[in-house]
Amino acid sequence: MLLCVVNKAPRGRYCTHMTSDADAPGLTAPELAGWLEYIRGSGRGVGDPVVNDLLQRVFVCAQALEERGDDEARVFWVELDRGTFEEYVGEEDLDDAERDEVRAEWEAYCPDPTAWFQISLTRYRGSVSLGINSHTVAYTAADEPAAYRDPRLREVVEWVLSATQSVVEQVRADWYNGYVAANLPYRKRLGRIRRTDWWAIHPAERQWHLRDFSAAEADRLVRLGVQRHDFKRLRFASMTFLQYMKACRIAYRAAGVEGADTYTFKELYGRHADGRHDGLLDLAPQSAEQFAEFRQYTGHPWEILAGGNSTHVSLYPVHDDDGWYLTVAGSSAARSVEAARIYLALVDAGFPVTLADHAAVANMLIGADDIGIVPEDVPTAYCQTLFLGGDVNDFRHLDPDTATATIERAYWYPLPVVR
């Protein structure tokens, strides 16, 4: 647990001079980690003219490296020493209890002798942006309120300039890439692991995910994904709000929600849906014309089980040249069982229905898909673009308690080569 409050200035010293060695004693890993924690809570560091000049110099130095990505991006790793506890405490006079608290903070920020920081530099329309560990911490800007300026930013950017100079020298000496590949901790890397292997390591997560979803249900889900060759014959010539309400009632029963058999439809919808019906609940129950006109609306009326951007379940009415059908969408791990059961129940009830991302949901529920392992500084959401092919939709960090078993079973992507 980090004992340093986010909006409190972190402890430690900051370098006041430039060096040619990224591990020089001007800045230690816990100090930098503490400042990064602080800057995440207080906003980006906007530079004064000195910082602006330093950032431009950093980027000029980094131009010796090959671009990686858009906006002239340069990305590389820097290893920084933890330093001593006495350096972190500085000249503060602490009693024994305070000293123990600060030592716990120091160890939490950097539990190992060294820590790794990913530096990213981009330039867009002349403005240079600096990121450390996937978070933008500084950018050049001519006219920004002084209140947003962090006086320690200058020292951090001086360190980045020194670190960049060192990395350029290391790459030229053909030393950097081999050292990083051999020493960068796996918690900073990108990997993927088969879900069945993840479940074997984390059996409680398998139980959380599948609950009482049976092997027979999973087998039927897989078979339906292959066998629904007659789907085009299973269409409605028209659809009304009354038909949609009946489908939703079946869906709520399949999902096992409260009141599925006793509440009115509007009560069910009000309790479990997104809530923004945008007029759906006001349609005439048996008017095919009103429903056909309303279906063009692009708001949130179809989100019948509320959740976040990717953790809700939707039941969409769809019309094409063959008629009307429904689509169940809910491919997150947290909602996959509910989505699968809703789909199976609607099939049993004779509704023309598809399951969005059918193969992905089925594979998830039999453990045949992959879980993405993302670096510890990357949030475990919306990481699809990190994985080529877009076939990974569930993400985790490397769990320290099961790291060895996970490292052995996972596939780890090669680190990008810096040239």
Give per-residue pLDDT as tens, 385-399.
999 877 898 999 999
Give the three-state DSSP class for 318. strand
Does 105 have pLDDT greater than 90? Answer: no
Sorted by where each begins, the domain ranges of the chain are: 29-184, 199-366
pLDDT tens digits for range 361-373: 999 999 999 999 9
Q: Report how far residue 154's alpha carbon sits from residue 138's, in angstroms, rounded to the nearest whole number.
A: 10
pTM of the model: 0.82
Q: Report how far residue 302's alpha carbon sits from residue 317's, in angstroms, rounded to the nearest whole number.
A: 8
Q: Quote the pLDDT of residue 265.
A: 87
From residue 211, give the alpha-carbon distance in Å to each of 4, 200, 215, 216.
Answer: 38, 16, 11, 14
> Do residues 247 and 315 make contact, with C-beta atoms less than 8 angstroms apart?
yes
110-113: long-range contacts, CB 8 A cutoff, minimum separation 24: 110/28, 110/29, 110/30, 110/33, 110/82, 112/82, 112/185, 113/81, 113/82
**Sheet of 135-139: strands edge to edge?**
45-46, 135-139, 127-132, 114-124, 74-81
Whose tokens are 């997150």? That residue is 332
Residue of 409, 376, 291 lying closest to 111 (CA atoms): 376
In terms of C-beta density within 10 A (0-12 exposed, 13-18 middle, 19 or more buried), how is residue 185 classed? middle
Does 191 have pLDDT greater than 80? Answer: yes
Does 9 have pLDDT greater than 60? Answer: no
Give the three-state DSSP class for 169. helix
Measured N-to-C along each axis, helices 49-62 and 153-172 cross at an angle, to the nearest 10 degrees, of: 10
8-22, 59-73, 90-104, 244-258: least confidently modelled range? 8-22
Other CB atoms closer than 10 Å to residue 18's CB: what's the count?
Answer: 15
Name the pLDDT band for 87 (thresholds 50, 70, 90).
Answer: confident
Q: Which residues contact 319 (CB under 8 A, 6 or more apart)?
A: 239, 292, 295
pLDDT tens digits for range 325-352: 999 999 899 999 999 999 999 999 999 9
pLDDT tens digits for range 127-170: 999 999 988 888 887 555 544 567 788 889 999 999 999 999 99
- Write out the two tokens for 214: 């049976």
In the chain, the amino acid numbered 148 is Y
